[in-house]
Structure 1
Amino acid sequence: MTPTTPLEASGARTATAQVHEAIKQRILDGAYRPLEFVREAAVARELEVSRTPVREALRELVSEGWLEAIPHQGARVAEWTEKDAREVFELRLVLEPMAVGLACRHIDADTLAHLDDLASRMEALTESPLDGAGHSELASLNHEFHRLLIQASDNQRLAQILESVVRTSIIRRNFASYDRSALKRSMQHHREMLIAIGAGNAAWAENVMRAHLLAARVLHVTVDTSTATSSPP
């Protein structure tokens, strides 16, 4: 048996990555619905690839939480529950303010300029009523904005934890629930965070991020009023 060369291995990895991204995008766009099975043979046929990279991509998506493996049946799209959303926001309320506070000390001018551009593009999108494509674009820009802020913390372990916590799906699937006032408030939070970071004021940036997440949580999670007073200020 001829051993696999590094080039061949690289090609297989590229195919798996492409299939991985294609399936994930279909989940985000709603082409694959919660609890729907993603069939290996069907994906291979649609993407015109062999079943090997599809099998590897499905395995990775299961490990990342996008899919769940059902014994003797296959992999299906994971369903986000109220409990899932609540747990995500509990973690984000602790970790993302920490990340933005660290970013105040470590961010560079190029990253800050990129964040400013993303904020401007989101603001321009929200000037007009959004359709499905608009919601999808806004969610993509929003995810990139938060991802860059987290990376700017210069704390690799914190970034890795948040990457596993902040699921693009919950952001993208729920942006349609924002009314005009909620969208405007969210955009104002983004802008104020950048001003605080530019000023190097970690406490200010952390508090804006916390307010930003608390406002988002109201739209995504039914808040238990009996414990609301114990929420972060």
Structure 2
Amino acid sequence: MLEASASRFSGEDVYATLKKALGDSQYAPGEYLREAQIAKSMGVSRTPVREALQRLASEGWLEIKPNYGARVKHWSTRDVEEIFEARLLVEPYLAGRAALRITAEDIGTLVELAERMSAIATLEATPETTEQWFAANGTFHAIVTAAAGNVRLDNALKSMKEMPLIKWTYDTYGAADRRRSARQHVEIVEALEQRNQALAEAITRCHILAAEQSVQEKMKAKMK
């Protein structure tokens, strides 16, 4: 639940605050976001709230139901397939390009992040360790894709990966999944260090496919 603030929110503030709340799963799938309630809690008119909700709907976070309002999107199996299909088309390519362009400084940072994720993978999964992993993982992949030097593809990929599905992916992981993912991050760094474009692409592709399989299996299990 959003808390009231003494300061006045701009339209961009309203959007950013709601987006963070959705990313942090403060709203459940299928839950409606009420314009009047949000406007009151933020001390703004309903107009910037309405604009923020429409913007979040266009980005895939919400669904606008005529005569009912905006509700948090419920992820279907097909939604998961579409996001991972799109990632498979873009992310391995960017990783391969990064192998040809990435700096030694960035590689050093990636080594540290991969080591951090390897350490986290040995710990019990808790909300705290999940947040730590999510932060390290996001920074890791952002460095890799930015190093490719294609701003348009990188921005498109960032939009896909901002979805709460990405955080939920790690929540679905078992111990073996976490160890596998940590190992693949190390392998990606090694491919980048070797300037091996094909290997960086191949490992990144396997990394995404393994994540998709884990998510799909957990979703199917919930449906039984």
TM-score norm. by structure 2 comes to: 0.84
Please give the alpha-carbon distance, in whole angstroms, between the structure 2 residues aligned to 1:123 and 1:148: 18
| 2:121 corresponds to | 126
8 Å CA contact 2:88–2:208 kept in 1: the answer is: yes
- Identify the match of residue 30 of structure 2 among 26, 35, 56: 35
RMSD: 2.0
Q: Cα deviation per residue 1:121-143 (whole Å; 9 max; x = unaligned)? A: 32232221021232133223222
- Identify the match of residue 157 of structure 1 among 141, 149, 152: 152
| 1:143 corresponds to | 138
Please give the alpha-carbon distance, in whole angstroms, between the structure 2 residues aligned to 1:113 and 1:53: 42
Please give the alpha-carbon distance, in whole angstroms, between the structure 1 residues aligned to 2:122 and 2:216: 26
**1:1-233 mapped onto 2 (5 Å cutoff):** 15-221=10-216
8 Å CA contact 2:102–2:147 kept in 1: the answer is: yes
8 Å CA contact 2:35–2:50 kept in 1: the answer is: yes
Instruction: State percent identity of aligned pairs.
Output: 36
Please give the alpha-carbon distance, in whole angstroms, between the structure 1 residues aligned to 2:64 and 2:207: 34
Q: Cα deviation per residue 1:191-212 (whole Å; 9 max; x = unaligned)? A: 1111111111111111111111
Unaligned runs of 5+ in 2: 1-7, 218-224
8 Å CA contact 2:92–2:205 kept in 1: the answer is: yes
Please give the alpha-carbon distance, in whole angstroms, between the structure 2 residues aligned to 1:183 and 1:83: 24
Offset at 1:161?
2.7
Offset at 1:167?
4.2
Q: Please identify, of 95-104 and 116-125, the stretch whose mean Cα deviation from structure 2 is larger.
A: 116-125
Q: Given residue 178 of structure 1, which amino acid in structure 2 is its aligned partner?
A: Y
8 Å CA contact 1:143–1:168 kept in 2: the answer is: no
**SS of 1:221's equivalent?**
helix
Q: 1:130 to 1:163 in 2, by over 3 A?
A: same
Please give the alpha-carbon distance, in whole angstroms, between the structure 2 residues aligned to 1:107 and 1:15: 37
Q: Please identify, of 33-42 and 113-122, the stretch whose mean Cα deviation from structure 2 is larger.
A: 113-122
Please give the alpha-carbon distance, in whole angstroms, between the structure 1 residues aligned to 2:116 and 2:47: 39
Please give the alpha-carbon distance, in whole angstroms, between the structure 2 residues aligned to 1:168 and 1:141: 16
Q: Given residue 99 of structure 1, which amino acid in structure 2 is its aligned partner?
A: L
8 Å CA contact 1:28–1:173 kept in 2: the answer is: no
Q: Given residue 164 of structure 1, which amino acid in structure 2 is its aligned partner?
A: S
Please give the alpha-carbon distance, in whole angstroms, between the structure 2 residues aligned to 1:15 and 1:117: 37
Q: Cα deviation per residue 1:149-203 (whole Å; 9 max; x = unaligned)? A: 2221101222133233334311112312211111011011111111111111111
8 Å CA contact 2:25–2:164 kept in 1: the answer is: no
Q: 1:52 to 1:206 in 2, by over 3 A?
A: same
8 Å CA contact 1:107–1:152 kept in 2: the answer is: yes
Unaligned runs of 5+ in 1: 1-11, 223-233
Please give the alpha-carbon distance, in whole angstroms, between the structure 2 residues aligned to 1:50 and 1:190: 45
8 Å CA contact 2:96–2:200 kept in 1: the answer is: yes
Offset at 1:35?
1.4
Q: Please identify, of 179-188 and 152-161, the stretch whose mean Cα deviation from structure 2 is larger.
A: 152-161
**SS of 2:71's equivalent?**
strand
Report how many residues are paired: 210
Q: Given residue 176 of structure 1, which amino acid in structure 2 is its aligned partner?
A: D
**SS of 1:33's equivalent?**
coil
TM-score norm. by structure 1 comes to: 0.81
